[in-house]
Structure 1
Amino acid sequence: MRGAAMTLTAAVSGFIVLLLSVSVVQGQDSWRVTYSSLQICAYKGSTVEMNCTFTYPERINRQVNSLQKTFWFRKDGFYYKDVETVSEYSGRVKNICDGNKCTLRITNLRETDSTVYRFGFIINKDSYHGRPGVTLSVTDLQVKVSRPHEALLFQCLSGLSSQTSYIWFRNGQKLKHSTSSYYSPEQLLQTDSYSCALSGHEKCPSPPVYAPKLPSVSVSPSAEIVEGSSVTLTCSSDANPAATFKWYKRNQTPQYLHEGAQLVFNYIHPSASGEYYCGSENKLGRKRSGYVSINVKCE
């Protein structure tokens, strides 16, 4: 992979750079930038990292080369801008380098961050950028779940209101004849997940929606529980949309206690001893945790 050099003045100023075809000594491809991935899809609000490695000649015209600066550019029309100088990236971007390995980290992604990014560096009086760069696509797609008249309905939501063609996926597999922003499955299994994408952008789908996974219960403190102490039970379950939680105490007839992710005993009594479990639920299904035992000792 070969790149074009830029003048030292333009590269250092960095704000707007037009990448001109100014030749440099190549020397057995010793000028090189290699990207770990050329295309990245990420979700709005998330964090993305672009990785590359680079090399350059040890000497040019008998002069030993020394690395002066590394930077990442974003493409804006015919121009490339050093992202660390662009106000829209303030507090969100960082160039992290270790030897000849560099990473561009962008946090709190926005749709406007979607473009091509290239890595460049300066040695002595020469500079180099790596083609073709990394194409970043940021999507705000999400699947809204509803149950009108008890029927399950998915809606693909996008900021692109003019987009009329969609693609739906079940468990990562494309569903045929699904070009509408709405989709209603004939049958839903607890293990099924659904996502959507804009037509022509299948590699950048929405986050999947799915029923709650098996909930887990933790007890704090985990040490011996004595009468009068404060005890908190916490239920957690991976789900999208987020799950709601209900708590029960195991009896001949399960005793409903509380709704919420935590069951808190501010002053626990020996009568609270027993087995507890939680249930997690969203519009796609429900799951119940295993039992957790509490033994309260008298003072």
Structure 2
Amino acid sequence: MGSLILIILVIIPGVRSADWGVTFKSQCALKGTSVVIKCTYDYPVGHFVTSVSWSKAQRESDRWSLVPLSNLPSPPNHFRYVGNYWRDCSLQVNDVQHSDDGFYFFKFVTTLNRWTSKSYAHLSVRELTAVGQPSTVTEGGNVSLTCVSGCLTPVDVVWFRDGQRVLNPVFQARKEDAGRYYCAVLGQETIRSAAVALNVQYAPENVTLSVTPSGDVVKGDSVTLTCSSDARPPVAQSGYRLYKDGHFIGLGQNHTIADIQHSQGGLYSCQAWNNISWRGIDFINSTEVHLDVRYHPVNISISMNPLRVLEGSSVTLSCSSDSNPAADNYTWYKRTASPNSTLQVGSGQVLSIPSVDASHTGLYLCRARNALGENNSTEVLLATTEEEHGGQPLAVIAGISVALLVTLVFALLLLWRKHRTHAEKQVTTSNQTVSDFGLSGRGSSSSATEEQSDNVYVNIHTLPSCPPPATDTTPLSQRISHHEHDAPASNEDEVTYSTVSIKPRNPRLPHSINNSRARQDSWSKTGVNDDSVIYTTVAKSS
């Protein structure tokens, strides 16, 4: 009977012959997962396990204490005993959190004794960590994503960007790839890492220039030009440049024109730069924006055709103006005799008068108008002139006048030339006579060559009181010489006045001729100061 009882005790679970003891296996768990802490225990034969429990070591002040898991603040079923009452003492921890990290102890009670483990099970709580290399990349650069679990046991992971699945953790970055990335356990996607940001830098795109207000711009309005772009990093203020018709205006994202004028209209564009080049280009251009400044008519002027208006002829007055939009109405006025009073005489851009008479003369002006306002031109005088020389054109009359003037000048030149030639002949004859007279009277024997080189021409006019000269074929020089030597002296001389024209004295003439000229100069002292006229007194015998 005793042997039978011993066999039954051996067969009954929990009845063992080993010593007291508990064996653990430490675990590493990812935050959010469920983990089972492996545990086995032994006890002597003859003991029956009546209760089991787990405790966690807690540090209070400077000492450690064991706190039953049932006393820890945790959600229901967070800790669950999955062992039994004869050997297995495993513990399952659901939705592991960092607060679950620590040291765990197992305790069991038998019918005869109780036991608390001398060793412990260590639960390490880790998280998935997402790493992007590099975290900042220029568009076109390579990116590699790595997920680190922290536990030695490898896990299969998948990648997400802003909730969207990423198929390949290694890729070439585009600007669309910028965002927040995280990794998760395959099949347990709720267990995931903290998100990391991938910053993809790129040159400015979609550079645009906008005008405020966006409607019609009227002269005098305030206008703001704003340049914007899509860029990473964003374009700084100094990275924007504004241009008008290809010419640089200034830096900055905004440019305000307080009192815009029509001359400031044109094609505007801007450039953006953020220190990143795109295909070797630093500054990215916007599309051109035409700034259309509207204004009332200005610079109104009148042109008249023809400029010289004859009575009875036609004349056309044309009015032009600078405006935006173009002037759609032109009105013509004529100044009347009343002060500051005008009379409307027509409409349209052109005023035509088919036959001008005296009633049409006066001051004319035109008024141009568009949707924004109106303005007057300066006044233009319309005056008529009469036909000249039977209606011949002015050019023909001028040509005839020039021809007559040339003919007159040519005739005067011929007359002057003829008179000069005649005077030179007379002077030559007179000088020859005087020369002969001077040389014969002094008895000089100069050569013929010397006489020809110093001729003195003289014209002797006999006064009416003198008797007519006797007819004598003897040369004048011989008669004068004979008269000087043979005639007897007389106290009463007959006076004859003569005019003598002489040439300038030649310094190269012989001394004898110069002496003769000297005598003539001494005679001239009694006459007038004219160098070309010499009055002489000639004494003749009775």
Instruction: Give the TM-score, by structure 2 length.
Output: 0.24
**Whose Rg is larger?**
2
Indicate the structure whose relative CO is greater, using CA pairs within 8 Å and at least 6 residues apart.
1
In terms of fraction of residues, the more helix-rich structure is: 2
Instruction: Give the TM-score, by structure 1 length.
Output: 0.42
